[in-house]
Amino acid sequence: GQQVMQIPQYQHVQEGEDFTTYCNSSTTLSNIQWYKQRPGGHPVFLIQLVKSGEVKKQKRLTFQFGEAKKNSSLHITATQTTDVGTYFCAAPRSNDYKLSFGAGTTVTVRA
């Protein structure tokens, strides 16, 4: 079945620095979603990308969908302690629309 591969698994960032997490698929995706889970919390929907090459911004977060719709990235600029958590990408399977979640990128921030 379709899988979305997410890298890196862990990201240790100095406060104020930028970082990027990537999500890759071997098949074309109809859309891709991003979720954030704070430590001890539950996944919270951030955004959905649908169009090829689409770029969306939420304050310091920039989400991109690849031209071939097989990959996506989340770039965070000027990381803050509030960015700590695990970021998941998720994409629907073509046969039943079930969301397949990536393994997540767990972000820690050094003050």
Partner 1 sequence: DTAVSQTPKYLVTQMGNDKSIKCEQNLGHDTMYWYKQDSKKFLKIMFSYNNKELIINETVPNRFSPKSPDKAHLNLHINSLELGDSAVYFCASSQVAGPYEQYFGPGTRLTVT
> Given candidates 11, 21, 25, 33, which one binds partner 1 under the rule CB under 8 A?
33
> Which tokens sit at 9?
């698994």
Q: According to CB under 8 A, which residues from 84 to 103 bind partner 1?
A: 86, 88, 91-92, 96-99, 101, 103
Say whether 102 sits in a helix, a strand or coil: coil
**Cα(3)–Cα(21) distance, rounded to whole angstroms?**
16
Residues 6+ apart with CB under 8 A from 56: 47, 49, 62, 63
x-or-dash string of contact with partner 1, 37-76, rule CB under 8 A? x---xxxxx--x----------------------------
> Which tokens sit at 96?
């039943």
Provide, rounded to whole angstroms, the least separation between the CB of residue 18 and partner 1.
Answer: 23
The residue count for binding partner 1 (CB under 8 A) is 22
Instruction: Examine residue 11 and tell whether it contacts partner 1 (CB under 8 A).
Output: no
- Cβ atoms of 73 and 63 within 8 Å: the answer is yes
- Residues of the shown chain interacting with partner 1 in the complex, contacts defined by CB under 8 A: 30-31, 33, 37, 41-45, 48, 86, 88, 91-92, 96-99, 101, 103-104, 106
